[in-house]
Amino acid sequence: MNILTMIVSTLITAVFTENVVFHYTYGICPFLGVSKKTNTALGMGLTVTLVIAASSILSYLVYTYLLVPFELEYLRILLFILIIAAFVQMMEMLLKRFIPTLYKGLGIYLPLVTTNCAVLGTANVVIDNAMPFLNLTFYSIFIGVGFLMALILMSGIRERLEKADVPKCFKGFPIALIIACIMALAFSGLSGLNFFA
Amino acid sequence: MTALKTSMIICQVWERNMKAKNIILDGIVTNNAIFVMVLGMCPVLGTTDTLENAFWLGISTCAVLILSNLLISLVGKIIPDKVRIPCYIIIIATLVTVVDLALRKFLPGIYSEIGRFVRLIVVNCIILARAEAFAAGNKPHLSILDGFSVGIGFFLGLCLLGVIRELLNAGKLWGTTLFSGYVGIDIFGEAAGGFLTLAILMAVFNFVKSKIEKKQKIRQAMLKKSMQSVQSAGGKA
């Protein structure tokens, strides 16, 4: 399989058939909590994409070259969360120093990324499936893109929903969950899709 | 003198019990992690396809929550303020590793299904939130109680979702068939069914809550009215 085919098939798998929100049900908290406005959804989605990609690659490197040779696989939960927390902290400091406007724009979302299930979840998925390094790099980037897409779709719908006449007891989270259900149904229709055998 | 002392002790015990009662009620009902606070949604949707999975994930989360609350309330004052969150995360991650290894050894069948969510207990917002909001500033026995009540609230919510989804999906409960010949609704075994069940349950909770609040308001208004009429009657007399 040449590299272009690999990239395209990984893109389709990671964004559509194995969407992080609708297939793995990771990252539901930010998906419901931060998706009220498209702008904030975009900021959050981009941050998460970056953190997922970087932390999956770092976790993979640490796992294969540090934990496996010394037979310390059971320490992975501890080390992965440390890597993610350290990376987020480092990004926060770098952004504060070099791109203060973006830092201000992201505000509270940056520290929240540490406790996003999607980040740790993707790092685990990538290692459980024993992906080669190149596949893993693209997979983790596209998983982030899938999360970004889900967040933006949801925020677009919710912005319109504010004007709609929703039953009183469904206001807020319940109606957002109903929308998520319909979106998940649509995405589950794509599962099992395979363009390149 | 002794009577006064004993009455004071009784008062103290009663007050403490009131606090304990409040903590328990707060964790299970008024601030339920799933239906009111909307925290820790990933395992709620990912593992409630059967009651058995929901039960074991609830137990694991509960165990981690109680132990982390205990440990953090013990070391809370030693940790410097600036590095407290990383320290909490390390404590929680260690406990999760213990639970993960225990489940893998003793329940390998269950572990193969919920293992990926057991590892994610580390980033469950409920645990860090309780550590930060309660355990860090309270005594160990109260922290254990708080962890227990919040954990049980989470556990009961998970089990409720698990029962509904397993029944609708396959007509089974804990793996045993209840309705033979039931065809089943497949989507309740998938993520979409989880979203739908949770949405409807949340709406029902909101509905009941608003009804109770309405009743309380009416009662208060009536009380006020009767008080006023009594006062005005008193004034006339």
Q: How confident is the model at residue B62 (pLDDT cuts 50, 70, 90)?
A: very high
Q: Which letter, b or e, does each residue of B157-196 get, where b requires 16 or more Cβ atoms within 10 Å of its Cβ? A: bbbbbbbbbbbbbbbbbeeeeeeeeeeeeebbbbbbbbbb
Round the average pLDDT of chain A to a whole number and report it.
Answer: 87
Tell me how close the Cα of A58 comes to any Cα of chain B, in angstroms: 18
Please tell me the predicted confidence (pLDDT) of residue B133.
85
Residues B89-98 have pLDDT tens digits of 899 999 999 9
Among A17, A21, A22, A25, most B C-beta atoms within 10 A, so best to mutate, is A25
Interatomic CA distance for residues B118 and B12, integer angstroms: 41
The minimal CB distance from A85 to the residues B86, B125, B198 is found for: B86
Residue B206's closest chain A neighbor by CA?
A: A169
Cβ <8 Å between A26 and B100: no
* pLDDT tens-digit series, residues B102-145: 999 999 999 998 888 999 999 888 888 888 888 888 888 889 99
Q: List the one residue out of A28, A107, A26, A90 whose CA is nearest residue A54.
A: A90
What count of other Cβ atoms lies within 10 Å of the Cβ of residue A158? 19
Nearest partner of B138 among B41, B26, B1, B33, judged by Cα: B26
The yes-or-no verdict on residue B16 having pLDDT over 90 is no
Tens digits of residue pLDDT in A141-160: 999 999 999 999 999 999 89
Q: How far apart are CA B56 and CA B92, in angstroms?
A: 18
Contacts of A174 in chain B (CB under 8 A): 199-200, 202-203, 206
Give me the interface pTM, i.e. the ipTM.
Answer: 0.87
Test mutation, A51, A126, A177, A190, chain B, max B CBs within 10 A = A177
The nearest alpha carbon in chain A to B192 belongs to: A181
The DSSP line for B145-206 is: HHHHHHHHHHHHHHHHHHHHHHHHHHSEETTEESSTT----GGGGSHHHHHHHHHHHHHHHH
Please give the model's pTM, rounded to 2 decimal places: 0.86
- Name beta bridge partners: B176: B173
pLDDT in tens, A42-63: 888 888 898 999 999 999 999 9
Condensed to tens digits (0 to 9), the pLDDT of residues B145-170 reads 989 999 999 999 999 999 999 999 88
Average pLDDT over residues B21-33: 79
What is the pLDDT at residue B156? 92
Q: What is the average pLDDT across A15-30? A: 87
In chain B, pLDDT over 70 holds for what percent of residues?
Answer: 92
Tell me the mean pLDDT in the region A102-131: 83
pLDDT the model gives residue B181:
82
How far off is chain A from B41, nearest CA to CA, in Å? 6
Which residues in chain A (17-36) have CB-CB distances under 8 A to chain B?
Answer: 22-29, 32-33
B125 vs A82, A115, A177: nearest CB: A115
Interface probe, candidates B202, B205, B207, B214, chain A, greatest A C-beta count within 10 A = B202
Which range, of A42-56, A96-110, B56-70, B192-206, averages the lowest pLDDT?
A96-110
Q: Does the beta-carbon distance from B123 to A81 stay under 8 Å?
A: yes
B174-233 pLDDT, tens digit per residue, is: 888 888 888 888 888 888 999 999 999 999 988 988 888 888 899 888 888 888 888 887
Say if the Cβ atoms of A75 and B40 lie within 8 Å.
Answer: no
Task: State whether the Cα torsion A167-A170-A171-A177 is positive or negative.
Answer: negative
Per-residue model confidence (pLDDT) at position A172:
83
Is a pLDDT exceeding 60 seen at residue B6?
yes
E strand or H helix that includes residue B103? helix B84-106
- Structural Rg of chain A based on CA atoms: 18
Given this model, what pLDDT does residue A100 score?
84
Average confidence (pLDDT) over B63-86: 89
Cβ–Cβ gap A26/B120 under 8 Å: yes
pLDDT of residue B1: 60
Average pLDDT, chain B: 86
pLDDT: which is higher, A169 or B26: A169
